[in-house]
Amino acid sequence: MCGTEKARVVKSSSSSAGLDHSETRENGTTLSSHSVINLDHGDPTMFEAYWQRMGDKCTVVIPGSQSLSYFSNMKNLCWFLEPELEESIKRVHHVVGNAVTKDHHVVVGTGSTQLFQAALYALSPSDALEPISVVCAIPYYSSYAAVTDFLRSGLYKWGGDAHAFDKDGAYIELITSPNNPDGNTRDAIVKRGGGKLVHDLAYYWPQFTPITKPADHDIMLFTVSKSTGHAGSRIGWALVKDKDVAKKMTKFIELNTIGVSKESQLRAAKVLGVIADSCQSCDTPDSDNVFEYGKLIMSERWNKLRDVVGQSDMFSLPEYAKEYCNFMGKFTESYPAFAWMKCNRNIEDCAELLRGQKIITRSGERFGADSKHVRVSMVSKDEEFNLFIERLLAIQETSNEYHI
Ligand code: PMP
C-alpha cells in the first residue's frame, strides 16, 4: 500500500488549514467578536472543506424506484445491511489496518449510538434478578451514562467509573480508544471473570491517532461521524465476533427501527469506497486522502492550541507519546478530536470561565471528572476554531496583566 511505503508530506490547503481569522472574515463569514462559539459538541464540520474539494466524487443518485424494500440481503445475519456498505467497510479497514474484519459479523446501525444500545441489550443476561452494571473508566464519554439509564431498563444500569467498580459477577465495560474526552489509548480496567467488553473505536483513525495494530476485539464500534465527518448520515457499524451476540444486536435494531436507512447506507458505502480507493491508489495526491488531510488540519490546530496554552500556566493540556503509525509509515503524534483542557491556578469552573468569553465547552463533570476540566471540540469549522484561539489568547493576556 502506498500509504505505508512512503512518508507523505502534505502541503497546507489554502481552503482550510492555516487561514487566520481576519482572512476568513473577509471571505464573508457570519462570525463576529460578539458571536458565541459552540465547541460543546464534536460536530465534525471541519471535514466540509475537504468534501467540497472532492466535488462530485461521492455524489450518489438514487432513483425513485430503488431501495423500496425493508430488506437488503436475507442471507445475511444482518438482513438490512446493504452489501455495498459491508464491502466498503471491510475494504477500508483492510487498507487502513485499524481493525480485523475476518471472523467478525458486520452489523449496521443508525450511528454507533444505536449500536451501543444494541450491544447493551445483546450482552445483558435475560434471566438476571438485577440489571447488569455498565462501567467505563473516568473520564468517560458523557453520552454513555445518559443513554444507559435513559429508559430505566431492567436489563442494565449505569455503574459509573470502572476503577471504582467492586461488585462480583457479570458486568459490561466500555473501552473507548482513543478516549473521548481525553484522547488517551485505553485497555480494559476491571479485568474480572464475567466481564463483557465493548470497544468503542470511533476515533481509531489515522487523522487522530497512530494506527499501531489492527484491533481485534469481540465487539468493536465504528462510525462515519468521526472517520469521514458524515455525522448527518447517522451510519455506524459494529464488528462482532460471536454469532449469537450479532444476531441479538440485529434483533434490537429490528425492533427499534426495523433496519437502517438504505439511502444513508448507500451514501456511506460510496464515501468509504472512495476513501479506500484513494488509500490504495499511488496516483492520489496526499492532500486528496481524507486521513492525510484530516491529520494535517488536526496537527495545525493542535500546534496553534499548544502555542497559545504554552504562553502562561493558566491552562494545561495532556501530552501524547509518539508512536509508529502503520498507515502513515512513520512515527506520528496523536491529535485528538477533543482537547481535554485543565484550568490551573485557583479557577474552579473552567467551563464558566470560557462561557464568560462566549466559548461554550463541556464541563469535565459531565465526563465523571471535575469542573477544572473542559472538553473542547477540535473538529469545528476553521473560523470557529480560529476565533476560539483568539479568545483564549485574550483571556491569557488579560489574566497575566492582572495576575489572576
Ligand atoms: N462513541 C464516541 C466515543 C463518540 O464520541 C461518539 C460521538 N460523539 C459516538 C460514539 C456516537 O457516534 P454516532 O454519531 O455514530 O452515533
Kindly list the structural domains of the chain, giving each domain's residue range(s) and its CATH number in brackets, ordered by start.
14-55+288-401 (3.90.1150.10), 83-279 (3.40.640.10)
Q: How many whole angstroms separate alpha carbon 171 and alpha carbon 196? A: 6
State residue 30's pLDDT score.
Answer: 75
Looking at every residue in the chain, the average pLDDT score rounds to: 91
Q: Is 220 in the pocket of ligand 1 (CB under 6 A)?
A: no
pLDDT (0 to 100) of residue 7: 30
Atom of ligand 1 nearest to the CA of 236: 15
Cα dihedral value 284, 288, 292, 297, nearest 10: 160
Tell me the average pLDDT across 71-87.
Answer: 98
- Cell output for 336: 485528538
Task: Verify whether ligand 1 is closer than 6 Å to residue 141 (CB atom).
Answer: yes
pLDDT digits (tens, 9 = 90+) for 372-382: 999 999 999 99
Neighbouring residues of 343: CB distance < 8 A, sequence distance ≥ 6: 314, 315, 349, 350, 353, 372, 373, 374
- Cα(202) to ligand 1 centroid in Å equals 6
- Nearest atom in ligand 1 to 42's CA: 8
The predicted-structure confidence for 128-138, as pLDDT tens digits, reads as follows 999 999 999 99
Of 30-39, 112-121, 141-150, 369-378, which gets the smallest average pLDDT? 30-39
The CA distance from 311 to 393, in Å, is 8
Q: Ligand 1 pocket, 229 CB below 6 A?
A: no
Residue 29: is its pLDDT beyond 80? no
Q: Which of 143, 222, 224 to mutate to test the pocket of ligand 1 (most atoms within 8 A of CB)?
A: 143
Task: Identify the pLDDT of residue 16.
Answer: 35
Query: Is the model's pLDDT at 1 over the cut of 80?
Result: no
If you measure from the C-alpha of residue 8 to the centroid of ligand 1, how many angstroms do you get, rounded to a whole number? 29
Candidate from 41, 107, 142, 180 with most ligand 1 atoms within 8 A of CB, to mutate: 180
Give the pLDDT confidence score for residue 11 in this predicted structure. Answer: 34
d(CA 130, CA 128): 5
β-bridge mates for residue 198, sequence order: 174
Cell 451510519 locates to 235
Nearest CA to ligand 1 atom 2: 202
- How far apart are the C-alpha atoms of 125 and 106, rounded to whole Å? 22
172: pLDDT strictly greater than 70:
yes
- Residue 224 CA to ligand 1 center (angstroms) comes to 9
Share of the chain above pLDDT 70, in %: 91
Q: Three-state SS for 135? A: strand
- Is the peptide bond between 210 and the residue preceding it cis, with omega within 30 degrees of 0? no
Q: What is the mean pLDDT of residues 30-54?
A: 92
Question: Which residue is closest in CA terms to ligand 1's atom 4?
Answer: 202
The reply to whether ligand 1 has any atom less than 6 angstroms from the CB of 200 is yes
10 Å CB burial of residue 358 (0-12, 13-18, 19+) is middle
Which class for 335: exposed (0-12), middle (13-18), buried (19 or more C-beta within 10 A)? buried
At residue 403, the pLDDT reads 52
* Residue 74, number of CB atoms within 10 A of its CB: 7
pTM of the model: 0.92
- State the Cα–Cα distance between residues 114 and 78, nearest whole angstrom: 14
pLDDT per position as a tens digit, 298-343: 999 999 999 999 999 999 999 999 999 999 999 999 999 999 999 9
Print burial letters for 21-52: b (CB count within 10 Å at least 16), e (below 16): beebbeeebebeeeeebebbebbbebbebbee
42 CA distance to ligand 1 centroid (A)?
9
Q: Using CA atoms in the order 210, 212, 213, 218, what is the torsion angle rounded to 10 degrees?
A: -60
pLDDT of 169: 87
Strands 195-200, 171-176: parallel, antiparallel or unpaired by DSSP?
parallel
Q: Which protein residue's CA is at the shortest distance from atom 6 of ligand 1?
A: 202
Distance 287 CA to ligand 1 centre (A): 26
